[in-house]
Amino acid sequence: MIEEGLLSKFKGAMLAAALGDALGAHRRKRGGILRYTDDTAMTIALAESIIETGRVDSIDIAEKFIEHYEREPWRGYGPGPPRIFRIMRRKGISMGLDRLFYPGGSYGNGAAMRITPVALLYHDEPSLLRKAVEASCRPTHSNPLAIEGAYLEASAIALALRANSSQKTDPRKFLETLRNGIQSKIYLEKLELVEDLLVREADRSEVVEKLGNGVEAFNSVPTAIYSYLRKQNPMETIEYAISLGGDTDTIACMAGAIAGAHKGVEEIPPALLERLENRKRIEETAEKLWRLKIRWERSPP
């Protein structure tokens, strides 16, 4: 892929994810600054950890999460991560602490919502993508369903990144490729439903009934993928995801990441980007990820 085109897609994924998050969180508010939530805060923290260490290091990622949380605890974090971070701060960093609060670990979408940096860096390395996803999940999510959801979202972003930005994605081929890498029955069933709902152009109520719009990874990642495949344009994708209700900020964040990776930053309205909180920082982070990827290609780590 031409390096400049790849840069546009990196920026598109990061910025569209943040816009989806902000618009989904404040869907009834018009005008003013578009403030993002913990979804984007944790995405930035994950990206910064990878940029600084040159790898996906679970311990360093946890430290970055704690740092960002303590600086801005008002971002709208769910109940799990703050409790985990406080334990880590008192007793030292260790993995699997989510099992203290959720039997079998958390299967929420918190690991999937922040996965964009990992997907961007490993978009052309399928054999390494799953391991990198798993490492990024460990600080807060140990349940296999949460990890598989994060991997599915990362795979969708990676696949969209590799697609031609000037052409529409073929939903059937896209879903077939995703299914080939998925092991969990519930996600395979949901991806089958995505294809059926797309063919029938189902109404929103049926989409929500069949795919879900909740905080569980299996009730939100497939919904984000459906939203992307139905609309494909970043803003139309985000708007559709928000229209489904439920966990709108996270579903729109994940859907926006996929659409932005496909179409690039040029397809995002500049007027909205001007209103996005910390837009410059997010854009610079995307460029640093791109530069790291280019270095890896020229001199593998």
The amino acid that residue 83 corresponds to is: R
Q: What is the pLDDT of residues 138-161, one digit of tens each?
A: 999 999 999 999 999 999 999 999
CA–CA distance, 46 with 245 (Å, rounded to integer): 27
pLDDT of residue 52: 97
133 pLDDT band, cuts 50/70/90, is very high
Whether the Cβ atoms of residue 162 and residue 5 lie closer than 8 Å to each other = no
Domain extents for the chain?
A: 3-294
Q: What is the pLDDT of residues 225-247, one digit of tens each?
A: 999 999 999 999 999 999 999 99
Per-chain mean pLDDT for the chain: 96
pLDDT of residue 2: 52
Whether the Cβ atoms of residue 78 and residue 38 lie closer than 8 Å to each other = yes
pLDDT of residue 233: 97
CATH 1.10.4080.10 correct for 3-294: yes
Whether the Cβ atoms of residue 111 and residue 136 lie closer than 8 Å to each other = yes
CA–CA distance, 65 with 46 (Å, rounded to integer): 7
Whether the Cβ atoms of residue 145 and residue 218 lie closer than 8 Å to each other = yes
Q: What is the pLDDT of residues 79-107, one digit of tens each?
A: 999 999 999 999 999 999 999 999 999 99
CA–CA distance, 148 with 154 (Å, rounded to integer): 10
CA–CA distance, 234 with 274 (Å, rounded to integer): 16
Q: What is the pLDDT of residues 187-228, one digit of tens each?
A: 999 999 999 999 999 999 999 999 999 999 999 999 999 999
Question: pLDDT at residue 31 above 80?
Answer: no
DSSP bridge pairs for 34: 276
What average pLDDT does range 282-301 have in this prediction? 91
CA–CA distance, 67 with 45 (Å, rounded to integer): 8
